[in-house]
Structure formats: structure tokens, C-alpha cells
Structure 1
């Protein structure tokens, strides 16, 4: 391996072996240290990292038991568990060499050695050391990524009854391995709920892998999720690990699950049922151990349409169904959420800490928030940047007048509905009330209404709910 900079340590009490080894190996490796006294090994390891160590089996005249070699092998591995040790043994001591390998040695060379054999053995040992180092580095990076993915404030904010119920469901289901289907409008915090489920689960020390299925095209779906082998298709220049295999041992979050085509739903279902994934271009399946949390903004009644979503896949995904309420359904939480983001963005942009004016708070609580918490966050971020007064004003928020009007009109409609005795409209209002009370859990709403699930779905379709 000329040109590479690697360090080799030779430990032997025979000066001829040390000299021959140094002359041979310095042409192949960057540095060769020689040691005729094994008691200096701890000092050598404390001052330098060696890519491979050549260690003699015996150090005393007439000694042939190999006990000294075993002792120093154990000491080396205690000092450096990733050390790569090649034993030096006499031709008549092959059994000892094999025993040494059982105790952690990587290989052995016999005296008198063949130069080509020694160079080849140490070259392989150096590659092994490099591989162990890279594996350890990758493990540390993965641990850092796992830590970073759960770092920061991941709380769902609010004290409303709706949010307390959401947090209660998360607390009860997180320690299990049950698959979860998180439902809710855009911006309600579905990924945040998934991360909380992961952080409170038994898999919290492993990876949380998020996949936005809405952004994965049908042509690369299998490659992205299942992986592929080199040469499996045009452009597959290297082997690739899919998202499902990369999430092994951890949690896989499938966002926008309602957007994938039926033919791909069938392939995903097969993987989840078999708990194994077959990369494109391979014949053998790779076992996986993952917990699946899926999310969608598609209404429950549309998911129940077999022409749009496979019901067997839905059954597989929603062992527990968690519905996140829209922001307009928990207006009492708006001041807390707004103040949190105001503090966050004031620090981020080094802006003065400002309170919201009473008019601004009233405007936020009267606003429709079509984008839910995400829209509120962006409005507060913009206001923190633009605000010039002592407090954040209603004008700083730049809320759409159209959405504020919608809320007012909705309030008026509610007042009118109270005196509306039209049976069709009363039925619609009753179904809406039941669905809202049970957070669109069809089974619970149907039970309270005294209907079957199928009958409730028919009425929901009738009233365009």
C-alpha cells in the first residue's frame, strides 16, 4: 500500500524479527514502531493509534505455551477494543494461533515468515481497522442525528380540552408498537404529534425517519422506500438503502399517505404485512423492525372510499386513530401559541421582545386560520420582523380580511341555525355536531347518532360533509 500513511507496531523479543519487520514494512506503510518489551505496550498505545499490531506469542526463552501472548492480547483489547492484532507464531504452534483468534486476534503469521504473506496479512488488517473506525464514526453520527431529530422544543402547545385529549392519546399509545394514523388539516401539527409519539416510545433512542409521500413521484417510489441494487435500472450507479430499511429499529413517519396511487398502496401493504422489504433488483427480502406512523389531510370519509384507498391498508395503518383539531376549534390556545412563536422569532432575528396589543390578540382569535398553526406561525414571524411600535399590532400581522369575514359570517349563521327548523338542515347540523364532538371518529359519532357506520357515511355524502 505505498503512499498510504498507516502505523504498524511490532512487538517481539527477537531483535532479528524486529529489524526484518521494520525493513520490510516501512516500504509498504507510513510508520513502523518496534518494541522488544511487551510491558511498554500500554505506553505505546497511550501515545499513538496503530492501524495494526504484530504481537509475538512468547517472550521468554524456552516459553512455548503462548500464555504471555494471550495476556498481552487481552491487555491490548482492553486498552483499545477496536485494535487489530496479528499474532506471530512458530510453525509448530498453529493450535495456539487459532486459540488466539478465538480470543480476539484478527489473524496470524508463522515464523519464519514469507514477506508477501506478511504484507498481505497486514494490508487486510489495516483495511479492517479502517472499517471499524468508519463504523464507529458512523454510529456516533447516527446517534447525533437521532439526538438532533428530537432536539428542541417539540411540545404541542395549548390547554384546550381538544389538545388535552390529543396529548392523552399520545401518552397512552406511545409506549406501544401500535401503528398510528394521524389525521387533520394542513398545518395542524401532524408531524409534531408523530415526533412526540416517537420520543415517548421504546424506540426513542433509534431513528425517526420522515417520508413525505406527497413529494415522492410514482417512478421513484420503490427505489426511495425499498432501496435498490447497483445496476437495477438506468441511473442506479450504486447500491441504495431505502427509507424503510434505514428506519430499522426506529419509527417510520409516512406523511400524506392518502396521496399515493392504489398500485403503490398494494406494494406498501405487502411490506407492512411481511415486515420485510425487497430492494429493486434483489430477489431476497430484508427483514425490518419498524413502527409506522402515517398521516393524512384527506377526510375520513374519502379514505373510506375503496376506489381511492385500500381498506386493508387503512386497517393496517390505523390501529389507533389520532385526529388533530383545527386551530379554529381551539381558539383559547391561540394567545399561548402566538406568544411562544413571538419569543422564538424575537431571539432568532435579534428583535426586541414585544407583547401583542389587545386588538392583535382579538384579531388572531377571530381569524379563520385556513393554514392552522403553520399559518399562525408565519404570521407571527412576519409581525416580529416588521413591528416597529412598543407592541405587535393588528396591522403587523397582515391578516387577510376575507378570512376574518368568513369567521363573522360563520358566527351569524350559527345564530340563524338555532331557529331553523328545516329537517334537512337540522339533520346536517346534528351530524356535524356529532362528528365535531367525537373529532371525526366515525364509529363513535355513529353510535351516538344511533346509526351504523355505513348509514352515517351515506348521510355525510348526502350533505357533502
Structure 2
């Protein structure tokens, strides 16, 4: 396994990063101060990666990089930054020697993808390509139909869904099936260092304006995919809105977002006029826990890809493993399923994966808020569906990603008795 050294004073963020990396097949080590970091860097094997906060007790990422150079070491260092703009990112990468950056608020979306670019050699890390994984559920068939309908137009689109549901693959399929497929495709991350275009020093416009407009010039006639549009700062929102309103670029914009974006529009932290310009049409991708009939198809697809990569016989899931996979709530959706299945495939002796070979991570984000923001009828139906799947209220709470206490309050709210019968 590839070693990844995490240096951060935040114990909670260290735990989150370590859990994500472990799930993906890496071997993380966490430290919180400069002396411990030096000690661990000296022990890192070839192919390791360092993920470091910009500042931590008694040191900085820059100080650690300079120490590495003095010691003849050159492990790639990825910096975790807080609320930083594109111009500052350039300064960090030029002056401080980091090889890449991730936003602290985007750790769950950016960490694994960024680390995978620099960790060598790869073991069980398997990156999904841009094709759609074959799935048989009605919900996914409806999404495939929506892709074809939207691709036939030039409408901007927002693809809504939780982390790991395959939103970017859907966005790329819209591009590939459209008339713009022979023109450029540019993919940018709204909350990360990737949103850095070119700037003309003699320009009378702001540097941020020049950099964002540069993407439209490069993508003329084609498509820009903006990942995690909810992470776009208010300044960048204003620039993007001005470009769309005043310059009318010949570019289709496809955005990915989670439910936070709708809340931001309601709270006026995301500009509503920009939102409606970007959401001329939309697709909502259901979480994996609501399309459990797809789990076997997805797992089989992943195991086939893994077998080809490792040049070994394909492993299979037995009935106990499939049942366990269908009962897990999957807060990380397809991405988490991939990591779970491939971790089991890597470690199992033989060609059959059973329930005992599956390792589920108990450290997961709280998705109770997402549940309680649904309309009452949908909320009640989801509670009853979870109980019917699990057979117990404790199992239902696990599927919903909430505590049994929180589920009890929701049952009381909807008049659902212990036998899952509704009094209303």
C-alpha cells in the first residue's frame, strides 16, 4: 500500500482524511507537529505522498519542504488550504514548493483524486473512467434518457447529487452525445486550484476576471464542466454572471452540485440570477441507498475492471456479501462502494468475497439534515422503506445515516408506530 503522511493540527480532519485514504487502499500516518513530521518523512518509502496543512505547531508546509530538500528527500507535498483564492494558490505553488493544493472544505471531494495523481506505484487504487457504469434500475434508465434529451439542446445544466454518485460522468456523457463533441471540453473545480486561467498583466480588468474569461475563450463552441459549483466564491459568481450576461459566450456550461446549492440560493449566498442561468435544465442523481437494486451490477463492473488491471481471475460476491452491501447506507455512494469492494478483492484469499471480507467504515458524515429537508410525504416513505429493507428500527436508522434517537423523533413526527404502521 502507498504510504500517505498527513500533517495537521486538526484531529478531526486527520481522522476524516485517514478514513478516506484507508478506504481507498492507502496506508495513512497522521502527525500534528514539525518534529514528528520530520521523523515520519525520514521513514517514508518510495511512492509516498505528504498531505500537509499550510501551518501547524512549530512548522509550516514550506519549512517541511525546505527541510526535505536539505536532507535530499523529494516526496510530493499537497497543501491543505483554508478559504484561499486563485491568486494566492499560484503564489503558494510557485514560492512554497507544494506540488498541488486542496481546499479544507473540499477534503471529501478532492483528497483521493489529488493523492492518486502523485502516489506511486498504485496497488488497489482504481480510477473510474468517464463511461457510465451499466445499471438496471428505472431511476438510472430515466437519467440515461435525460442525458440524451439534454445533449440534443444547447441548454446549460446542473447535475444534483451527493458526493460519489457519478455526477461528472453524467456531465461528460452530455458533452459526448452533443453536437459540441468536436469542440473543446474543459473541466474545472470550483473550490480548488484548478480554477486558475491565464492573466494578461497589462489588462485593465481584474485578474480573476481575466482568468475565468480565459476558460471561455479556450472552450469556444464547446463545453465547460464546473464541478461543485456550490463552492464558487461570491466574487467568482459575480464575474461568471457578468461574462454570461454581457458577453454571451458560445459555450455550454454543465455544473455539478449537491443540495447545499439550493440552500445557498434560498439564503442569498449564491446569486439567484446566476443559478437560473446555469440551471436551464437539471438532472438529480439518487443516492445509492435509494437504488440498491443497482449494487450488484456496479460491484460486478468494478470487479471486472479490477481483474483486468491486476491481470488475475475475476472475484465474485456471494449472497452474504450482496446482502451486506445492500444494507449499508453508502454515504459515499458509488465511490465508497468501489473502495469497499476493491479493498475486499485485494485482501481476500480465493476468488469469492463473503460478508466477512467486507470492511465498512463507521466514520461517515451526518446525512440527517438531508433527510429532514425533504417534503413530509417523501420523508415518511423513505423511513418506511428503510424499515422494510432492514427489518428493525436500528437497521433502518443505519440505512438512513441517522441515530436511533433521531429516527424515533421522526417516527413520532409522522405518527409511525413500532410496527411501521402510520396513524395518519
TM-score w.r.t. length of structure 2: 0.54
1:199 pairs with 162, 167, 176, which one? 176
| Pair 1:168-2:139 in alignment | no
Distance in structure 1 (CA, Å) of the matches to 2:252 and 2:245 = 12
Q: Which runs of 5+ in 2 are unaligned?
A: 1-127, 365-389, 417-424
Deviation at 1:378, TM superposition (A): 1.5
Aligned to 2:254, the other structure's residue is in SS state strand
| Pair 1:397-2:369 in alignment | no
1:248 pairs with 211, 217, 220, which one? 220
Query: 1:373-421: CA deviations, max 9, x gaps?
Result: 011111222222222123122233312367799744357999x999x99
- Tell me the residue number matched to 1:367: 328
- Tell me the residue number matched to 1:409: 397
Query: 1:198-237: CA deviations, max 9, x gaps?
Result: 01100112222110111149xxx5xx24x3114669xx9x
Asked if structure 2 preserves the Cα contact closer than 8 Å seen for 1:351 and 1:384, the reply is: no
Distance in structure 2 (CA, Å) of the matches to 1:309 and 1:402 = 30
- Tell me the residue number matched to 2:414: 425
Asked if structure 1 preserves the Cα contact closer than 8 Å seen for 2:165 and 2:334, the reply is: yes
Asked if structure 2 preserves the Cα contact closer than 8 Å seen for 1:156 and 1:192, the reply is: no
- Tell me the residue number matched to 1:293: 254
Spell out structure 1 runs of 4+ moving beyond 6 A.
Answer: 402-406, 411-414
- Tell me the residue number matched to 2:47: none
Distance in structure 2 (CA, Å) of the matches to 1:271 and 1:425 = 47
Q: 1:385–1:411: structure 2 CA closer, same or farther, 3 Å change rule?
A: closer
Residue pairs, 1:153-192, within 5 angstroms: 154-192=131-169
Deviation at 1:247, TM superposition (A): 1.5
Deviation at 1:257, TM superposition (A): 0.7
Q: 1:258–1:426: structure 2 CA closer, same or farther, 3 Å change rule?
A: farther
Distance in structure 2 (CA, Å) of the matches to 1:194 and 1:407 = 34
Deviation at 1:152, TM superposition (A): 6.2
- Tell me the residue number matched to 1:55: none
Asked if structure 1 preserves the Cα contact closer than 8 Å seen for 2:130 and 2:172, the reply is: no
Residue pairs, 1:138-287, within 5 angstroms: 154-216=131-193, 224-225=196-197, 227-230=198-201, 242-275=214-247
Asked if structure 1 preserves the Cα contact closer than 8 Å seen for 2:253 and 2:278, the reply is: yes
Distance in structure 1 (CA, Å) of the matches to 2:293 and 2:284 = 18
Asked if structure 2 preserves the Cα contact closer than 8 Å seen for 1:207 and 1:251, the reply is: yes
Deviation at 1:160, TM superposition (A): 1.0
Q: 1:193–1:268: structure 2 CA closer, same or farther, 3 Å change rule?
A: same
Q: 1:350–1:406: structure 2 CA closer, same or farther, 3 Å change rule?
A: farther
User: How many residues align structurally?
Assistant: 254
| Pair 1:379-2:340 in alignment | yes
Q: Which runs of 5+ in 1 are unaligned?
A: 1-150, 277-287, 428-465
Aligned to 1:253, the other structure's residue is in SS state strand
Distance in structure 2 (CA, Å) of the matches to 1:229 and 1:409 = 55
Distance in structure 2 (CA, Å) of the matches to 1:210 and 1:261 = 18
Distance in structure 2 (CA, Å) of the matches to 1:152 and 1:401 = 28
Query: 1:5-31: CA deviations, max 9, x gaps?
Result: xxxxxxxxxxxxxxxxxxxxxxxxxxx
* Greater relative contact order, per chain length (Cα 8 Å cut-off, separation 6+): 2
Structure with higher Rg: it is 1
Aligned to 1:263, the other structure's residue is in SS state helix
| Pair 1:356-2:317 in alignment | yes
Aligned to 2:236, the other structure's residue is in SS state helix
Distance in structure 2 (CA, Å) of the matches to 1:406 and 1:187 = 25
Aligned to 2:266, the other structure's residue is in SS state coil
Distance in structure 2 (CA, Å) of the matches to 1:291 and 1:257 = 15
| Pair 1:345-2:306 in alignment | yes
Q: 1:330–1:421: structure 2 CA closer, same or farther, 3 Å change rule?
A: closer
TM-score w.r.t. length of structure 1: 0.49
Aligned to 1:242, the other structure's residue is in SS state helix
Deviation at 1:153, TM superposition (A): 6.2
Aligned to 1:186, the other structure's residue is in SS state coil
| Pair 1:334-2:290 in alignment | no
Q: 1:267–1:402: structure 2 CA closer, same or farther, 3 Å change rule?
A: closer
Asked if structure 2 preserves the Cα contact closer than 8 Å seen for 1:368 and 1:406, the reply is: no
Query: 1:253-298: CA deviations, max 9, x gaps?
Result: 011111112222111111122336xxxxxxxxxxx42100011113
Distance in structure 2 (CA, Å) of the matches to 1:214 and 1:300 = 13
Aligned to 1:304, the other structure's residue is in SS state helix
Asked if structure 2 preserves the Cα contact closer than 8 Å seen for 1:327 and 1:373, the reply is: yes
Deviation at 1:340, TM superposition (A): 0.1
Deviation at 1:303, TM superposition (A): 3.4
